[in-house]
Chains A and B, each alone.
Chain A
Amino acid sequence: MDQVIQVKDLRKDFKSHSSRPGLKGAFRDLFNRNYSIISAVKDISFEVKQGEMVGYIGENGAGKSTSIKMLTGILTPTDGTVTVNGMNPHKEREKFVSSIGVVFGQRSQLWWDIAVQESFKLLKKVYNVSDEDYEAHMTHVIDSLDIGPLLDKPVRKLSLGQRMRCELAAALLHNPPLLFLDEPTIGLDVLVKLKIRNFLKEINEKYKTTILLTTHDLTDIEALCERVIMLDEGQIIYDGKLANLRSNWGEGKQIEFQFAEEVTKDELSPLMKELDAEWTASERKNVWVANVVNEEHVISEVIGRVVAAHRITDVKIHEISTEEIIRNIYEEGVVDGKIY
């Protein structure tokens, strides 16, 4: 299959000057500045195939936005090569941007004062979309995003959810084969989020649109992306299937028992004989957690033995959430080798 995005040893350095403290320092800064080079993105490489939906995640300041901006031609890379849709985004910017759609969740693409459809008309001119193409494509987009009734309202009168749906429609006006979404669901309610997710799935299936999505909301990623690229301090620390991330890191389950009377670890430990599991005490009184591997017979065996030996008032089974997995990865830093 075609590679839509090819990134090789991509690097972006920012030069920033650090000011010295005090008035004396300010005077010295006038003549001789301390520059330090900060690398926001450090030699990353990856490829994205046509029709993939990729989640691009990382903490604030991990280099997500910087790399997205290099992929969309906004920033010039310090080093390395970027090829998107067969073009160099920065060199052929004007030609290149007609082949992508961009949504920045925190920044509006639409004109504030004029009606949504007037904005669409302007963008239609800017992107040079013919009337037939516009009709054929946008009727569908407007329908599935359910923004028909909003078209004659000025953007400033729309709610955030309404605006976001219009932004998405605006980004798709020229039916780009590649879509960049930077925090598209930030601050939206569950219903709007669902609508946007379904819509993205639909266009991905219908037009084979490649989607690169950054978000802090991991439920977006779980709902949409098979593949995730995880960044930390400007480097890729994980690139692969979301499912693998789960099975490698979220392997175990936790069974939480609330006992009717006080128990000690010595009493509980013998119950785990020959089983791959161990106990940890919870902060709450008489609550113990059994960490077990995710296998049916182990889970039922543990519950069976505990229930047979002690009186309990409550049992809960937890699966480790993606959010927890990712938090663990960040806390431990770079992912160890086994994950690849």
Chain B
Amino acid sequence: MKHAAIFFHYVSQYMKTRLTYRVDMLMEIMSDLLFQAVNLVFILVVFGHTQFLSGWSRDEIIFIYGFFLVPFAIFGAFFNIWDFNERYIVKGEMDRILTRPVHSLFQIILERMELESLFGMITGIAVMVYAGMRLDLSISWYDPFIFILMVIGGAFVYAGIFVMLASISFWSDSRTSIIPMMYNIGNYGRYPVDIYNKVIRFILTWILPFAFVGVYPSAYFLGREDWYVYAFLTPVVGFGFFFLSIFIWNVGVTKYRGAGN
């Protein structure tokens, strides 16, 4: 497993770099934790005033939100390549990536990872536990495994979409404002999709399948059987989107024009 070995080597390098700036790292961890705490309070305050939202109770909505945070944290840690265009295409760093014998996307993920984002998983799980207890959800022995599968599926949905967006840079190196917009659209996946109209719901399921990051997989854990089909489609859609995005990326690499020097 060459890739795994490289991955762990990069992670240890990343830690070392962080540890050299001790104060910096401490501050960052503190502020990350604080940010998560504020986030948590914010969720409780906002949802404190809603009781039902087209058939979903307040605790269910909080649960969905908590679930959403977990794949989102993983996405943030590894696939946060919003500055790909600027950093790799315009500045020509892609040249260097392409002269190394490892898949280009894998190298970029390793170079751009931000492991601090993983703290978000703690918040997410805490929110889920809180909501789950209030809802009296029962957990079977296989649920943690399904949870992991759903989380990976959800993270891959996000990753797929952002890798596709990054791939656009291979064709056109002009700056676009698509990425911030996409972060906004991504937030829609945090809420039950049946509160939206049909068109938006269709888009969030099949075109930009953000619904598979939050609502659909959560429906399984909330025991909403009418949504099970969608829930179990999560890993399928996730892997499908991710592989499609890698395919587009690979085509994009052949269109790379390089930066002049």
Q: Give A contacts to B, CB under 8 Å.
A: 14, 65-66, 69, 72-76, 90, 93-95, 97-98, 100, 102, 104, 106-109, 111, 113-114, 118, 121-122, 125-128
Cβ contact within 8 Å between A126 and B101? yes
Query: Mask for B2-17, Cβ within 8 A of A = 1, else 0?
Result: 1001100110010011
B87 within 8 Å of A (CB atoms): no
How far is it, in angstroms, between the C-alpha of A225 and the C-alpha of B154 when the chains are bound? 56
B257: A residues at CB distance < 8 A? 14, 75
How far is it, in angstroms, between the C-alpha of A72 and the C-alpha of B92 when the chains are bound? 15
Cβ contact within 8 Å between B9 and A114? no
Inter-chain pairs besides A118-B16, A126-B6, A127-B100, 12 sampled, C-beta below 8 Å: A14-B257, A65-B258, A65-B261, A69-B258, A74-B95, A74-B256, A76-B255, A107-B261, A109-B96, A111-B13, A125-B9, A128-B2
SS class, residues of chain B in contact with chain A: helix
Cβ contact within 8 Å between A122 and B98? no
B6: A residues at CB distance < 8 A? 125-126
Question: A118-B16, A125-B6, A128-B2 known; A107 and B98 CB under 8 Å?
Answer: no
- Name which of B6, B99, B100, B261 has the most chain A CB atoms within 10 A of its CB: B99
Cβ contact within 8 Å between A107 and B95? yes
B224: A residues at CB distance < 8 A? none
CB distance from B249 to the nearest CB of A (A): 13
B102 within 8 Å of A (CB atoms): yes
Q: Give B contacts to A, CB under 8 Å.
A: 2, 5-6, 9-10, 13, 16-17, 20, 92-96, 98-103, 254-258, 260-261
How far is it, in angstroms, between the C-alpha of A128 and the C-alpha of B4 when the chains are bound? 12
How far is it, in angstroms, between the C-alpha of A106 and the C-alpha of B2 when the chains are bound? 30
Chain A, Cβ-Cβ closest to B9:
A125
Cβ contact within 8 Å between A122 and B100? no
How far is it, in angstroms, between the C-alpha of A97 and the C-alpha of B97 when the chains are bound? 11
Q: Name 23 interchain pairs, CB-CB below 8 A, sorted by A.
A: A65-B258, A72-B99, A73-B99, A74-B95, A74-B98, A74-B256, A74-B258, A75-B257, A76-B255, A90-B254, A94-B102, A94-B103, A98-B101, A100-B99, A104-B96, A107-B92, A113-B17, A114-B16, A114-B17, A118-B16, A122-B9, A126-B101, A126-B102
A95: B residues at CB distance < 8 A? 101
Chain A, Cβ-Cβ closest to B102:
A126
B95: A residues at CB distance < 8 A? 69, 74, 104, 107
Cβ contact within 8 Å between A93 and B2? no
Q: Select which of A75, A107, A109, A126 is within 8 A of B256 by beta carbon.
A: A75
B93: A residues at CB distance < 8 A? 107
How far is it, in angstroms, between the C-alpha of A128 and the C-alpha of B99 when the chains are bound? 14
How far is it, in angstroms, between the C-alpha of A100 and the C-alpha of B101 when the chains are bound? 10
Question: A69-B95, A94-B101, A126-B100 known; A118 and B13 CB under 8 Å?
Answer: yes
Question: A76-B254, A114-B16, A122-B9 known; A93 and B98 CB under 8 Å?
Answer: yes
B255: A residues at CB distance < 8 A? 76
